[in-house]
Amino acid sequence: MMIPLSHAPISCGVAKLSATDTQAGANSLRSGPDGRGRFGIFGGRFVAETLMPLLLELDGAYKAAQADPEFRRELDYYLKDYVGRPSPLWFARRMTEQLGGAKIYMKREELNHTGSHKLNNVMGQILLARRMGRTRIVAETGAGQHGVATATVCALFGMKCAIYMGATDVERQKPNVFRMRLLGAEVVPVTAGAGTLKDAMNEAMRDWVTNVHDTYFLVGTVAGPHPYPQMVRDFQSIIGVETREQIMAAEGRLPDAIVAAIGGGSNAMGIFHPFLDDPEVKLIGVEAAGCGLDSGRTAASIERGKPGVLHGNRTYLLQDADGQITEAHSISAGLDYPGVGPEHSWLSDIGRAEYVGATDQEALDAFQLCTRTEGIIPALESAHAVAYAAKIAPDMGKDQIIVINISGRGDKDIFTVAEHLGVKL
């Protein structure tokens, strides 16, 4: 059977962030954060005084870079020729037919160099770090996707690189640990706490505070103290900017829903942000429900957390009545975090985006569905988004459109999935 042309992957030039994209009007939902780095009550800069002058310097350097056309030109060059942007928007024909409802498109962020959306942000920040004269990079990583992306650009630019990774995650993401070491990074296993992303974040902050003179802290998600949530979102919003152009080219209209997985929330924020002022586009963030939202073993910070302060920002957090942070749980190391980016907390409170959960089992099922129907092995993180899209698509009309952000590829997860399927590799 011939595949109609309109179903072929859409390709176009690297989308440019124009002045109107970054300078939203007063009534726009895209104008945040405010001068204090707040989105409503969320965000801020809750850090030790040692770091505060560095955040102010970073904020100034980022603003200067934004205003410098040369910075944009340099970033565009690397995004196109090194990252491999734009990523295609793929019409998932077989999955659409199997689910029998809305048309499903997939934004193919897993096709970026290093296999996830993480490189979009890392490329922006490494260029900024170079402009600031820093020679050493520290980063935290959960699944290892951000760590691999960071180690990659450090190799590319010949910079020293230390990646903090929870000891539990080092164990369950061995391929990525080896990749980072091949790339020349020092991978530091963190044994504090449950040895997951939260503990890696603490340790990366301790390294930064100790080595402030030459070190740049390259945060991997839309969390942390201001300006990180804004900066990471801006660098990731290339995903949404391209999606907008591509869906207009393919369908002549905006989608009815955009579905993305949420750990810290950078892939979701990146695809949501250019659509915040289009109320007809439903934005759905899928948190990791773990063993179930009410199982006590979950990573669904927005759905089961309360506002609080951790890692430099106020946001929804999994915590006990005394304000102690509780351990998150998810099959996916990248979503195993008890917090979420502050802009998501705000979008949830004002009702602009909807936050739902997908369980470990639902993600595993969706992982296989996506693999078998589209020949795309998604990351377990992205499988959470596929799971929820698969849940709502059958009840939507055939003329409706869902875009799923396939934020990463699943090669790194095959050991975890094999174990859950009872297969010995």
Q: In 3D, which of 121, 52, 56, 136 has the Cα closest to residue 312?
A: 52
54 binds other proteins, rule: CB under 8 A: yes
321 binds other proteins, rule: CB under 8 A: yes
Q: In 3D, which of 223, 170, 190, 420 has the Cα closest to residue 338?
A: 223
Q: Which residue has 């990351």 as its token pair?
A: 379
Selected from 124, 312, 334, 342, the binder of other proteins by CB under 8 A is 312
Cβ-based nearer residue to other proteins, 156 or 209? 209
Selected from 308, 341, 342, 410, the binder of other proteins by CB under 8 A is 308
* CB 243 to other proteins: min, Å: 35
Given a contact cutoff of 8 angstroms between Cβ atoms, the answer to whether 126 and 423 are in contact is no
133 binds other proteins, rule: CB under 8 A: no
* CB 49 to other proteins: min, Å: 4
Span interacting with other proteins, options 45-53, 82-90, 250-258, 382-390, rule CB under 8 A:
45-53
Q: Which residue has 């603003």 as its token pair?
A: 63
User: Which one from 242, 362, 407, 412 is the annotated catalytic residue?
Assistant: 407
33 binds other proteins, rule: CB under 8 A: no
* Rg value, the chain, Cα: 20
In order, the DSSP letters of 256-270 are: SEEEEEESS-HHHHH
What 8-state DSSP symbol labels residue 332? Answer: S
Order of strands, sheet of 215-217, starting from the edge strand that comes earlier in the sequence = 186-190, 160-166, 136-141, 215-217
User: Which one from 140, 287, 362, 381 is the annotated catalytic residue?
Assistant: 140
Q: Which residue has 């997985």 as its token pair?
A: 261
User: Which one from 103, 109, 116, 118 is the annotated catalytic residue?
Assistant: 118
Helix (H, G, I), strand (E, B) or coil at 23: coil
Is 407 noted as a catalytic residue in this protein?
A: yes
134 binds other proteins, rule: CB under 8 A: no
* CB 336 to other proteins: min, Å: 15
* CB 299 to other proteins: min, Å: 16
By CB under 8 A, the count of residues binding other proteins is: 39
Selected from 202, 221, 266, 301, the binder of other proteins by CB under 8 A is 202
Q: Is 48 buried (19+), middle (13-18) or exposed (0-12) by CB count in 10 A?
A: exposed
Residues in 374-393 at the binding interface with other proteins, rule: CB under 8 A: none
Can you name the residues that pair with 257 across neighbouring β-strands? 282, 402
Q: Is the dihedral of CA 270, 271, 274, 280 positive or negative?
A: negative
Q: In 3D, which of 148, 22, 188 has the Cα closest to residue 411?
A: 148
50 binds other proteins, rule: CB under 8 A: yes
Selected from 33, 44, 229, 255, the binder of other proteins by CB under 8 A is 44
198 binds other proteins, rule: CB under 8 A: yes
329 binds other proteins, rule: CB under 8 A: no
Listed in sequence order, the DSSP H helices in 30-112 are: 52-66, 69-78, 93-99
| Active centre residues (catalytic) | 118, 140, 407
Query: Rule CB under 8 A: which residues touch other proteins?
Result: 36, 44-54, 192-193, 198, 201-202, 205-206, 209-213, 306, 308-312, 314, 317, 319, 321-326
